Chains A and B, each alone.
Chain A
Amino acid sequence: MKVVPRVPGGVGESVRRVDGVPKVTGEFLFGSDLRTDDMLWGYTLRSPHPHARIVSLDVSGALTVPGVYAVLVADDVPGRKTYGLELPDQPVLAMDCVRYQGEPVAILAAVDLEVARRAAGQIRVDYEVLPAVTDMEAALRPDAPRVHPWGNVLRHIRIVHGDPSTPADVWVEGYYETGMQDQAMLGPEAGLAIPASDGGVDLYVATQWLHVDRDQIAPCLGLPPEKVRLHLAGVGGAFGAREDVSMHIHACLLALRTGRPVKMVYSREESFYGHVHRHPARIWMRHGATRDGRLVNVYARVLIDGGAYASSSTAVIANASTFATGPYEVPHALIEGTAVYTHNPPCGAMRGFGAVQACFAHEAQMDKLARALGLDPVELRLRNAVQTGSVLPTGQVIRGTAPVRELIRRCAAIPLPAEPAERPPLSYPGGAGNVSRGERLRRGVGFAVGYKNVAYSEGFDDSAEARVRLFAGPDGPVAEVHSAAAEVGQGVHTVLVQIAREELGIPQVVLRTPDTAVGSAGSSSASRQTMMSGGAVQLACRAVLEEVWDRVRRRARERREPVPGGLAVRDGVVWAGERPVGRLEEYLDPPIEATRTYRHRRTTPLDRQGQGDPHVTFAFAAQRAVVEVDEELGLVRVVQIAAAQDVGRALHPQNVYGQIEGGTAQGLGLALMEEIVLDEGRLRNPSFTDYLIPTILDMPPVVSVLIEEPEPGVPFGAKGVGEPSTVVSTAAIVAAVRDATGRELNRVPLRPDDIVGLRPPARSAGPPPAPDVPYPQPVPVALGFL
Chain B
Amino acid sequence: MLVRVNVNGVWRQADVWPGASLLLLLRDHLGLVGSKNACEQGECGSCSVWLDDELVCSCLVLAAQADGRTVRTVESLAHGGRLHPVQEAFLDAGAVQCGFCTPGLVVAVVDLLQRDPSPSEETIREALAGNLCRCTGYQKILDAVRLAAQRMRTAES
Contacts and interface: CB of A to CB of B under 8 A. Distances in A.
Contacts of A265: 37
Interface string B124-139: 1110111111111111
Contacts of B113: none
A689 B91 contact: no
A284 interface: no
Interface stretch (B63-71, B93-101, B149-157): B93-101
B74 A25 contact: yes
B100 A186 contact: yes
Contact of B133 (A17, A186, A267, A663): A186
Q: Indicate the size class of the contact surface on chain A.
A: 35 or more
Contacts of B56: none
A661 B46 contact: no
Nearest to A236: B100
A440 interface: no
A268 B41 CA distance: 9
A80 B137 CA distance: 42
Contacts of A489: 97-99, 135
Contact of A25 (B78, B122, B133, B139): B78
B39 A23 contact: no
Contacts of B27: 33
A25 B41 contact: no
Contact of B46 (A19, A114, A186, A490): A186
Contact of A30 (B97, B100, B106): B100
B92 interface: yes
Given A26-B75, A697-B126, A268 B138 contact: no
Interface string A661-672: 111111000000
A172 interface: no
A427 interface: yes
Contacts of A16: 91-92
Given A26-B33, A32-B37, A186 B101 contact: yes
Interface stretch (A68-76, A135-143, A287-295, A651-659): A651-659
B87 interface: yes
Contacts of A235: 98
Nearest to A423: B122
B119 interface: no
B7 interface: no
A145 interface: no
B130 to A, nearest CB: 8
B50 interface: no
A687 B75 contact: no
Prevailing SS type, chain B contact patch: loop
A424 B126 CA distance: 12
Contacts of B77: 25
Nearest to A27: B34
A268 B39 contact: yes
Contacts of A693: 132, 134
B33 A33 contact: yes
A582 to B, nearest CB: 35
A687 B38 CA distance: 10
B114 to A, nearest CB: 18
B141 interface: yes
Interface residues of B, number: 58
Contact of B96 (A23, A664, A697, A702): A23
A24 B98 contact: no
A694 B35 CA distance: 22
A666 B132 CA distance: 12
A699 interface: yes
A682 to B, nearest CB: 20
A9 interface: no
Nearest to A239: B134
Contacts of B97: 237, 489-491, 658, 662
Nearest to B92: A16
B11 interface: no
A20 to B, nearest CB: 5
A712 interface: no
A662 B125 contact: no
Contacts of B92: 16
A236 B94 contact: no
Contacts of A238: 98
Contacts of A699: 137-139
A265 B99 CA distance: 18
B131 A662 contact: no
Contacts of A55: none
A687 B39 CA distance: 7
Interface string B41-77: 1011010000000000000000000000000011101
Given A236-B98, A658-B97, A696 B90 contact: no
Interface in A514-572: none
Contacts of B133: 186, 696
A28 interface: yes
7 contacts: A16-B92, A24-B99, A32-B36, A236-B100, A488-B98, A654-B94, A693-B132
Given A236-B99, A696-B125, A696-B138, 20 more contacts: A21-B91, A24-B102, A25-B78, A26-B33, A30-B33, A35-B28, A35-B31, A187-B38, A267-B40, A426-B126, A489-B97, A491-B97, A661-B136, A661-B140, A662-B134, A665-B137, A666-B134, A688-B39, A694-B138, A699-B138
Q: Which 9 A-B pairs have the closest CB atoms?
A: A26-B34, A489-B98, A23-B99, A236-B100, A661-B137, A665-B137, A688-B43, A489-B97, A33-B33
